[in-house]
Structure 1
Amino acid sequence: MYFIGCTRFSLYIPGSNAWDISKVSEDNYLSQLYSDARMAARFDIFFNKAVPLYEDMAKRFFYKHVIQYSAVMPEKWKNKLFEEAAKYDFIVLSEAGENPISSTIKEILADRPSGTIAYFRVDDDDILSVDYLSELKNYVNENYEGMIVSFGCGLVATYVDGVFRDFRQCYRRFLALGLAFIGGYNAEKKEYWLPRYNGHETVDRHSPAIVDSRTPAFIWTHHEFQDTKVRSGGVAGAVSSRLKGYSRITSIRDYEKRFPTLKNEMKFLLENNEEILFLEKSRVSVDRVKFPTLNHKVSSKYVLEYSIVDEAFLHGIDKGVVNNRYLIIGFDILDSQGGLEVLGLNRSTDPDIGWYFYVSFVDGVANGRVEFSLSFKSNVCGLNFIKWKSKKPAFKINSMRLASESDD
């Protein structure tokens, strides 16, 4: 029984769908692919959150994890990759192009007896559970050779500013992460074979497939540095909107055992009820936009953190200009008892505005935090962005976070 995992660590693949040559130049693609922010996030998620879990699995099974990298990777990141990988004897580094994955697998299996193998892939920003191989081993024998195994239960999460900030239950079959191909190795011929693969979403059309969604097996990460942004160019449609179809976890029981490297972050989020509204750059160009929030427990204390850019700001001309009344952010607060009072916000006589505050811009940027307390526990149902003094500029929302704080 052999397990071989593979992670393509920020591979430069100009022919893939992640690079639309009609929209992104080669130089632009490379600069985005190996930007400091993107690479720092990859190293953090993979080596700090995922690899410790894989190391634990390597102690219990014959398991090698291949990390493919590109020759064009900048030296500082290549050196860091080699430095991190050297800490683990189950990791095998392989330069893509020079060593095809097939050759690397043959090298791993050389001098091993014939047996069943399971090959799977996981991206450098996704995470498999610490008991992934324990679940997969049920299908790694000659009775299942030629089949593909999809674990359809896991978590979908958002990652921003170096930490995970949201975890939700996810049921999604045939995701690429952790999709396992069961094949065989012939020691006499020194050859191996695996089921046919022609795109992860349609594997069951080419090979018999097993879907096992009984236990959480993965964390599917969403963040602003994902490769799909190369195609989309950062268009509106925040990362958080992708998660709205999934239910937020209400307990860390079971998850903390399967993802122990994320236990503290899960616990913190459950206790603080932080909600990420936007992680990708979203653009407000009309006079008024309403953003519904997601349900979290009612509270009497809230905090909103924001980062917004005034696109009409002219660098070098308007330097030092302070604009205090360009934009209003209003709050839809459920007044279930009547007579609600809010400390920290203004109250408009216009019922369509309600409780609000003015956003202050300096040099075209508004980075701030507003805290407010309610006279009794209630729920913030939505946020309203209203252009006020100026109707012309468009505003780009870099980030927006709402948290209901402890009432202690």
Structure 2
Amino acid sequence: MQVIGLCRFSWPGEGGFQVEHPDLDARIAYLYSDARMEARLRQFEAIALPGLRAQTDPDFTLLVIIGETLPEKWRDRLLALLEGFPQARVMPMPPGPHRRVMQDAINDARRDPDAACLQFRHDDDDAVAIDFVERLRRAARDCAGLLEGNRLVGFDFNRGLVARAGPQGLAVAETVIPLYGVALGLAARGGVRQTIMNFAHKKLNRFMPVVSFGDSAMFIRGLGQDNDSRQRPGIPEPKLTRPDPATVQLLHDRFRISEVDVRRVFAAR
């Protein structure tokens, strides 16, 4: 079964953000500011890419959606980070309604629209475990009867960590959160054009059956000052601590994330 992931890398669309802007120009200015783009590229390099590159099942496609107006210096930096990662496909897209444009991007990537496929969404500051694609495929096989009886089925791997990265390394906390948006997949029956990007991730179980797995750490949710989901007042701040030796080993074994690499990437100027 084909597996398609989608990552919006600062794509200036209509909707899809919790931070509101008065117009498209204001949104573009916010997304492409130097400080924000530096932070996103560092998170992408140090947190998101290591686990994606090391997937135990490499048979997947990752669509990296960027704006057609992304300045050349940032586009070049992004392309350099993706060298040697054949699963990644950078797709410049014009502004448009968020859900429709993302739906079209995923459906255009389906090799056979009449065959079932697996999909996942991924933010550029998050990580999935190295066996995420393998586990997603296994979940679909194990739930074959459920897939036969439903147009869409969700798969939620809800155990992981939240982490803040910086020049001093990582501060982390373990967590179990349902429908967090990272390590969240969906099976779409052949001929169904709705995609994982058509639904708010926290509300996925309102529209389809969702099977949850909480047996092992499957995600890292990256925390930063420019997180879209953390811009509203009243967002609780998790209690983060420096990783102990067991957590350092888990970060390497499950996500291929190294404290040395994190410090190097975030200390660079």
TM-score after normalising by structure 1: 0.54
Q: Residue type of the partner of 2:93?
A: A
**Structure 1 residue 20: deviation in Å?**
2.2
What value does the CA root-mean-square deviation take over the aligned residues? Answer: 3.2
Q: In the alignment, what sits opposite 1:210?
A: 211
Structure 1 counterpart of 2:253, from 254, 257, 276: 257
3-state SS, counterpart of residue 242 of structure 1? coil
Higher relative contact order at CA 8 Å, sep ≥6: structure 1 or structure 2? Answer: 2
Which structure shows the higher helix fraction?
A: 2
- In structure 1, the partner of 2:45 is 47
Deviation, 1:11, is 1.4
Comparing 91-100 and 43-52, the one that deviates more: 91-100
The structural deviation recorded for 1:156 is 0.4
In structure 1, what is the Cα distance between the partners aligned to 2:221 and 2:51?
15
Distance 1:105 1:205, change over 3 A: closer
Q: Deviations over 1:375-396 (max 9, x none)?
A: xxxxxxxxxxxxxxxxxxxxxx
Quick one: structure 1 residues 215 and 19, their matched pair in 2 at CA, closer, same or farther if it must change by over 3 Å?
A: same
Q: Structure 2 matches for 1:105-254, cutoff 5 A?
A: 105-110=106-111, 115-141=115-141, 142-145=144-147, 146-161=152-167, 164-185=169-190, 194=195, 197-228=198-229, 231-232=231-232, 242-244=237-239, 250=244, 251-252=246-247, 253-254=249-250
Matched to 2:184, the amino acid is L
How far the C-alpha of 1:115 sits from its partner, in A, is 4.7
Residue 16 (structure 1) shift = 3.8
Q: Distance in 2 between matches of 1:260 and 1:118?
A: 24
Structure 1: give runs of 5+ residues left out of the alignment.
Answer: 269-408
Which residue does 1:8 correspond to in 2? 8
CA distance in 2, matches of 1:194, 1:52: 26
Query: Residue by residue, what CA displacement relative to the aligned partner does 1:330-350 show, whole Å, maximum 9, x if unpaired?
Result: xxxxxxxxxxxxxxxxxxxxx
> How many equivalent residue pairs?
251
Moved over 4 A (4+): 24-28, 112-115, 191-197, 246-250, 263-266
Work out the percentage of aligned pairs sharing the same amino acid: 21
Q: Which amino acid aligns with 1:205?
A: R
- Larger proportion of strand: 1
Retained in 1: the 8 A contact 2:170–2:242? no
Displacement, 1:79?
2.8
Which of structures 1 and 2 has the bigger CA Rg?
1
Matched position secondary structure for 1:147: strand
Q: Give the Cα–Cα distance (whole angstroms) in 2 for the partners of residues 96 and 195 of structure 1.
A: 18
1:165-184 deviation digits (Å, cap 9, x = unpaired): 30110110001112111123
> Greater shift after overlay, 219-228 or 74-83?
74-83
Other-structure match for 2:266 = none
Taking structure 1 as reference, are residues 109 and 195 closer, same or farther at Cα in structure 2, changes over 3 Å only?
closer
Q: Offset at 1:257? A: 0.5
Offset at 1:150?
0.9
Matches of 2:33 and 2:53 in 1, distance apart?
A: 28
- The structural deviation recorded for 1:30 is 2.8
Is the 8 Å Cα contact of residues 160 and 224 (structure 1) preserved in structure 2? no
Tell me whether 1:68 sits opposite 2:97 in the alignment.
no
One-letter amino acid of the structure 2 residue matched with residue 259 of structure 1: F
Measured in 1, the distance between the counterparts of 2:23 and 2:94 equals 22
Partner of residue 90, structure 1: 87
Looking at structure 1, the residues matched to 173 and 157 of structure 2 have their Cα atoms a distance apart, in angstroms, of: 16
Counterparts of 1:89 and 1:195 in 2: how far apart (Å)? Answer: 23
1:318-365 superposed Cα distances (whole Å, 9 cap, x missing partner) = xxxxxxxxxxxxxxxxxxxxxxxxxxxxxxxxxxxxxxxxxxxxxxxx
Cα deviation code 1:257-311 (max 9, x no counterpart):
0022235479x9xxxxxxxxxxxxxxxxxxxxxxxxxxxxxxxxxxxxxxxxxxx
Contact between 2:119 and 2:186, CA under 8 Å: does it hold in 1? yes
- Which string of whole-angstrom CA distances, capped at 9 and with x for unpartnered residues, describes residues 62-98 of structure 1? 2000000112222221233234334321111112348
Matches within 5 A, 1:223-372: 223-228=224-229, 231-232=231-232, 242-244=237-239, 250=244, 251-252=246-247, 253-264=249-260
Closer, same or farther: CA 205–193 of 1 in aligned 2, 3 Å:
closer
Query: Any unmatched runs of 5+ in structure 2?
Result: 264-269
- Cα shift at 1:133: 1.6
Shift of 1:8: 0.3
Q: Note closer, same or farther for the CA distance 1:13–1:197 as it changes in structure 2 (3 Å cut).
A: closer
Match of 2:189, SS?
A: strand
